[in-house]
Amino acid sequence: MTRAPRGRLVAAVGVIAAAGMTLAACGGGSSSSESSAAAPESSAAEASSEAPAEEGCTELTPASLQLQWFVQAQFGGYYAAKDLGFYEEQCLDVTILEGGVDIVPQTQLAQGAADFAIAWVPKALASREQGAGIVDVAQVYQRSGTLQVSWADSGINTPADLKGKKVGNWGFGNEYELFAGLTQAGLKPGSDVELVQQQFDMQALLNREIDAAQAMTYNEYAQVLEAINPDTGELYKPEDFTVINWNDVGTAMYQDAIWASEERLADAAYQDLTQRFVTASLKGWIYCRDNAQACADIITANGSKLGASHQLWMMNEVNKLIWPSPLGVGIIDPVLWEQTVTVALNTLNADEVAIITAEPGPAAYTNQYAEAANAALTAEGLNTTGDDFAPISVELKEGGA
């Protein structure tokens, strides 16, 4: 399979990109006038495997991406873009920086320690209100992956049922949707429930030390289904638990997004860097959509310590949060953005202070780069909406092995 020359890619992007943006700053485009065959979406990697970088690229531009957490399939698209040469196609040499408990990605970005960052929208908006100059340039996750999980015999089926219960949460801004659900149910997070600082696992729930535990669909929820039920000697089943899904409750907020520096976006060179980074990253996510197992293997090869079945589960669940993307991958739906803002404005934390106190304004996000990326990737023959996406079936093993 052949890929469109860089000159044609730039032409497609330039139709949408803002005037004055220099999308080919890394080198001259190909002079070939021959048309390239469209790439089957399940083989997005084949195009990049033919050459380490695009024709006409004389030097790779360094760029860095700060993640929220350690290497895992939550970030599969970025690792796929790096390993399969999608960043090199865009003349980029990308360094992916792992996160951790003590790393705030949007702060790293605002302070110049990274060129781009992955962060949940409500956390980033809170940081922006406090002075962090950051802009959402690609909204990768279109749905929330946060759950509150309880035992089936707990009587907890709705947020209102959490009253008087021991409710685990991780803190660090991960609890905002939980607090929003409690607020909507007329409960005060700081007094009507017993908040318990939860570790980033499900042991407190499995040991019945708490009544409800925070979990991501792609990680901690799998952990309870990977554990052995001592009464049966087999793995726990979904019916052993009840789940509150904030998408169903109506307090879900936008999560993983690519953030860029607002100050640097005034510079044409950084605009160009952002465009190339977003285009390659979204191509990586398209690859992971169509090649879940291969993407899980890429994550394992990059040092993830998670087991094979857990990693594949995570990749599959992450794909469910991204696809389908009716407006195009990475494009912000104004309705969902406004829902996020409204929930954030009306949600009180444990100190009874709102997540954000004022509308973030139109400068907090832009669809310019994601729309241009969608145009370029569509020109390559890739499906950017995932309208026919179907998740795979994953069999979990004990401990995620």
Contacts of 267 (CB under 8 A, 6+ apart): none
% of the chain at pLDDT higher than 90? 82
Q: Tell me the mean pLDDT in the region 257-267.
A: 98
Q: Tell me the mean pLDDT in the region 233-257.
A: 98
Q: How far is CA 68 from each of CA 109, 268, 336, rounded to the nearest angstrom?
A: 12, 27, 22
Mean pLDDT lowest among 3-12, 125-134, 349-358, 388-397: 3-12
Q: Tell me the mean pLDDT in the region 224-244.
A: 98
% of the chain at pLDDT higher than 70? 86
pLDDT at 350: 80
Looking at the predicted structure, is the pLDDT value of residue 27 above 80? no
HEC-encoded secondary structure of the chain: CCCCCHHHHHHHHHCCCCCCCCCCCCCCCCCCCCCCCCCCHHHHHHHHHCCCCCCCCCCCEEEEEECCCCCCHHHHHHHHHHHCCHHHHCCEEEEEECCCCCCCHHHHHHCCCCCEEEECHHHHHHHHHCCCCEEEEEECCCCCCEEEEEEHHHCCCCHHHHCCCEEEECCCCCCHHHHHHHHHCCCCCCCCCEEEECCCCCHHHHCCCCCEEEEECCCHHHHHHCCEECCCCEECCHHHEEEEEHHHHCCCCCCCEEEEECCHHHCHHHHHHHHHHHHHHHHHHHHHHHCHHHHHHHHHHCCCCCCHHHHHHHHHHHHHHHCCCCCCCECCCHHHHHHHHHHHHCCECCCCCECCCCCCCHHHECCHHHHHHHHHHHHCCCCCCCCCCCCCCCCCCHHHC
Q: DSSP alpha helices (H): ranges in 4-83?
A: 6-14, 44-49, 76-83
pTM of the model: 0.87
Looking at the predicted structure, is the pLDDT value of residue 221 above 60? yes
Looking at the predicted structure, is the pLDDT value of residue 393 above 80? yes
pLDDT at 14: 40
First to last CA, the chain: 35
Q: Tell me the mean pLDDT in the region 180-204.
A: 95
DSSP state of 325: -
Residues 30-59 as b or e (16 or more Cβ within 10 Å = b): beeeeebeebebeebbebbeeeebbebbee
Q: Could you give the CA distance from residue 281 to residue 366 in angstroms, rounded to a whole number?
A: 16
Looking at the predicted structure, is the pLDDT value of residue 29 above 60? no
Q: Which residue has the tokens 């009306």?
A: 346
Q: What is the pLDDT of residues 265-300, one digit of tens each?
A: 999 999 999 999 999 999 999 999 999 999 999 999
pLDDT at 55: 58
In the structure, what pLDDT confidence band is assigned to residue 223 with cuts at 50, 70 and 90? very high
CA-based diameter of the chain, in Å? 69
Mean pLDDT lowest among 15-29, 76-90, 167-181, 375-389: 15-29
Question: How many other C-beta atoms are found inside a 10 Å radius of the C-beta of residue 389?
Answer: 15
pLDDT at 101: 87
Q: Tell me the β-bridge partners of 139.
A: 330
Looking at the predicted structure, is the pLDDT value of residue 207 above 50? yes
pLDDT at 260: 99
Q: What is the pLDDT of residues 51-96, one digit of tens each?
A: 344 456 889 999 999 999 999 999 999 999 999 999 999 999 999 9
Looking at the predicted structure, is the pLDDT value of residue 309 above 50? yes
Mean pLDDT lowest among 31-35, 114-118, 268-272: 31-35
Q: Could you give the CA distance from residue 96 to residue 63 in angstroms, rounded to a whole number?
A: 9
Looking at the predicted structure, is the pLDDT value of residue 24 above 90? no
pLDDT at 351: 82
Residue of 320, 104, 83 lying closest to 222 (CA atoms)? 320
Q: Could you give the CA distance from residue 392 to residue 374 in angstroms, rounded to a whole number?
A: 25
Phi, psi torsion values for 98, nearest 5 degrees: -70, 155
Mean pLDDT lowest among 136-150, 243-257, 344-358: 344-358
Q: DSSP alpha helices (H): ranges in 208-362?
A: 220-225, 246-249, 268-290, 292-301, 308-322, 334-345
Phi, psi torsion values for 232, nearest 5 degrees: -115, -20
* Average per-residue pLDDT for the chain: 89
pLDDT at 354: 92
Looking at the predicted structure, is the pLDDT value of residue 319 above 90? yes
Looking at the predicted structure, is the pLDDT value of residue 28 above 90? no
pLDDT at 4: 36
Amino acid at 359: E
Q: Which residue would you say has higher pLDDT here, 264 or 37?
A: 264
Looking at the predicted structure, is the pLDDT value of residue 162 above 90? yes
Cα torsion angle, 286, 287, 292, 295, sign: negative
